[in-house]
Amino acid sequence: MGPMAQPSEPARARPFLKWAGGKGQLLPELTKRVPASFGAYHEPFVGGGALFFALFGLGSLSTACLSDINPSLIDAYIAVRNHVDEVIVALRQHRHDERHYYAVRALKPELLPLPERGARTIYLNKTCYNGLHRENRAGQFNVPFGRYKNPTICDEENLRACSRALQRAEVSRRHFSSVLDVARPGDLVYFDPPYHPLSATANFTSYDRSGFGEGDQAQLRDVYAELTRRGVKAMLSNSDTPFIRSLYSDYEISQVHAPRIVNSRASGRGKVPEVIVRNYPAGEWPQGVLSG
């Protein structure tokens, strides 16, 4: 247990969604590799946004551009940023009950007003099986009901903290390559793409309808190289595989270990080596200042 927060101290924002590949476990390794200074912060695979919220809490951000290809995720961010009171009211209408869950899952999100759409995504995320976002080919969320005892559906304090953190963030639904249109020299980009599978049989790359294959990983490396050429600082995390190491062999690669769940079978759990790639010198961050 850490020290108790003073009543007057606003809560630190934590991700308001559980996201596959969420970076909570790797945060100390990531924050200590963040450069001492940078302009705007960009996260083009934002997912749950673990590093964004952590850096915001450390007071390390001026402005941020967050994006992802997943429309439900981006709508939830915009709803929490712009309409947190309505999102909280809508979340309070939801309960952890199987029939209610399937009725909410069947709603067409595009027909709901934005705050209710965001609340639906948060509710399904907190109560679905394994807390993972998965869509079928038609783009419908299709995860079954999860058997949690008492999931927290509406964490009002954290939602308000997230809303405050997001006030200074531009949030949009975009392909990762569009970071080339917005990142300026001296900015920092953190890429956390869907993992390259550890083995040919591991099949956990379908984060969205299109999946993310080796062609996408190679395109991402080209974007990374172009940012480097333009003087944009870039950090990237991925699985430690020969393919990823070969793509980024021109850059500084550190191996790190974090517990992660790669799939729902017990054999997929454990400490898996990952890499953090940087295009700026290892000594550039103030040791110990950000890693606490």
Q: How far is CA 174 from CA 48, 151, 187, in A?
A: 16, 31, 18
User: For the chain, how far is it from start to end, CA to CA, in angstroms?
Assistant: 15
CA neighbours within 13 Å on the CB side: how many for 2?
A: 4
Rule CB under 6 A: say whether 56 interacts with ligand SAM.
no
Query: Stretches 94-102, 110-118, 188-196, 263-271: which one binds ligand SAM (CB under 6 A)?
Result: 188-196
Rule CB under 6 A: say whether 47 interacts with ligand SAM.
yes
Rule CB under 6 A: say whether 115 interacts with ligand SAM.
no
Q: How far is CA 184 from CA 34, 121, 168, 265, in A?
A: 17, 33, 17, 42
Strand partners of residue 280: none
When the beta carbons of 47 and 109 are compared against ligand SAM, the nearer one is 47
Contact with ligand SAM (CB under 6 A): which of 16, 19, 38, 77? 19
When the beta carbons of 192 and 240 are compared against ligand SAM, the nearer one is 192
Binding letters toward ligand SAM, positions 201-240, x by CB under 6 A: ------xx---x----------------------------
d(CA 170, CA 208): 22
Rule CB under 6 A: say whether 38 interacts with ligand SAM.
no
When the beta carbons of 70 and 158 are compared against ligand SAM, the nearer one is 70
Contact with ligand SAM (CB under 6 A): which of 30, 34, 50, 66? 50
60-79 residues near ligand SAM, rule: CB under 6 A: 68-70
Q: Is 30 in contact with 51 (CB distance < 8 Å)?
A: yes
Provide the minimum distance between the beta carbon of 4 and ligand SAM in the complex, in angstroms, as a whole number: 27
When the beta carbons of 163 and 238 are compared against ligand SAM, the nearer one is 238
Range list of β-strands (E), the chain: 41-43, 64-68, 169-173, 188-191, 233-239, 252-261, 269-278
- Orientation angle between helical segments 114-127 and 71-82, nearest 10 degrees: 120
In this structure, how many other beta carbons lie within 10 angstroms of the beta carbon of residue 178?
14
Contact with ligand SAM (CB under 6 A): which of 75, 192, 240, 274? 192
When the beta carbons of 38 and 190 are compared against ligand SAM, the nearer one is 190
d(CA 175, CA 241): 24
Interface residues with ligand SAM (CB under 6 A)? 19, 21-23, 44-45, 47-48, 50, 68-70, 175-176, 192-194, 207-208, 212
